Amino acid sequence: MYGFVICEYEKVKKNFPEFASKMANLKASLIAKASADWSPLTYGGIAPKSGQFGETTIMPELFNGISAAYQPLPTWYQWFNGTGNQTIMAGAGTGSIIAEDYKIGLAGLAFLSKAIRISEFRMQIGDRKTPRINVEEAFAYNKPAIIFEQPFILDEEESYHLYAYVLTQGPQRIKLLGLQLNRVPNKLQTTNTGAAIT
């Protein structure tokens, strides 16, 4: 149920051909859930009109990072300032929830930094916990990605935590792979880029 594949981010389609069908299934499942939960709104894609909900990439501003201020991430860039077991990302809403009006289809994680500063991670989505995943094999890859064989849906007002064992201090970019649906498109269309999303 919690299987995964490690491959280079740039070669996901080549090395993991099932990724396209998994993404299509994830998108269809997420749209069906949003259509039921947000009825009578309908899916409007990347440029929704009145009465529609929109789609975009997963926005880092919906998540808090590891920084001392523990504020929403303006980008996927973080600075790890300690080592050991830590929460390196969590929902930006009160109680570490995904903010209301957003649903996320999570297909995997990509490490966009040359140095990978974690050796393993696990997630908690609401009351569901995933097993620990050791990523030391990924050290041999250039910008590796961890693709889940069974993607996850992060629902609005559901808590999300990404825990990791941090090996060294320093910069790190870990990007969540998938898509995001937005019930109120104006929240993304009228706010400044990099600003917190509420």
Count of domains in the chain?
1
113-147 pLDDT per residue, tens: 888 999 999 999 999 999 999 999 988 888 899 99
Q: State pTM to two decimals.
A: 0.91
Establish if 32 belongs to a structural domain.
Answer: yes
Which residue did the predictor score with more confidence, 198 or 126?
126
Q: 166-179 burial, b for 16+ CB within 10 Å, e for fewer?
A: bbeeeebebbbbbb
In this prediction, residue 1 carries a pLDDT of 55
Establish if 97 belongs to a structural domain.
Answer: yes
Q: Which CATH number does the domain housing residue 141 bear?
A: 2.60.120.1170
Compute the mean pLDDT over every residue in the chain, rounded to the nearest whole number: 90
Report long-range pairs for 82-87 (Cβ below 8 Å, ≥24 apart): 82/166, 82/169, 83/166, 83/167, 83/168, 83/169, 84/165, 84/166, 85/163, 85/164, 85/165, 85/166, 86/163, 86/164, 86/165, 86/166, 87/161, 87/162, 87/163
Model confidence at 69, pLDDT cuts 50, 70, 90, reads low
Average pLDDT estimate for 27-55: 96
Average pLDDT estimate for 170-174: 94
Domain holding 45, by residue range, is 4-184
Average pLDDT estimate for 50-73: 88
Residue 196 pLDDT exceeds 80: no
